[in-house]
Amino acid sequence: MSNSKGGMGAEVCGLPRLGRATGYSLAGLRVAYQEEAAFRQEVWLALVLVPAALLLPLPLMGRAFLAVAMLAVLAMELLNTAVEAVVDLASPDFHPLAKKAKDVGSAAVLVSLVSLAISWLCALAVIFAGA
């Protein structure tokens, strides 16, 4: 397994591996929050929607689904950020394939946001209209 510096490191197993992996993940969350305005906005949205979802008068699975839908938006934004970083590294100049990769990553985030909105609208319809 390669480390984040790009070289091959000694294989680490068990708790040390989990500790390193957690550190890399937290570093990724930190850099995304610091450098990506969209991710910051979605984090703040998650801080509102996830607790709200857990408090709604819905079955447990419905509440969990709404929370997971929000977390999926964050995951998609992180993947989009990673794609953009790799594309910028590989092709700092304009290239149609670089544009395609960035546009598709952005579309994935949009699809996750639309899915989130549909999920919340359906949940609210069930609660308020008895649908």
Active site members = 77
Q: Which residues contact residue 113 at a Cβ distance below 8 angstroms, ignoring those fewer than 6 apart?
A: 73
Q: How far apart are CA 16 and CA 76, in angstroms?
A: 28
CA nearest to 42, candidates 55, 51, 32, 31? 32
Other Cβ atoms closer than 10 A to 70: 23
Distances (CA, A) of 62 to 12, 50, 57, 127, 131: 39, 12, 9, 11, 14
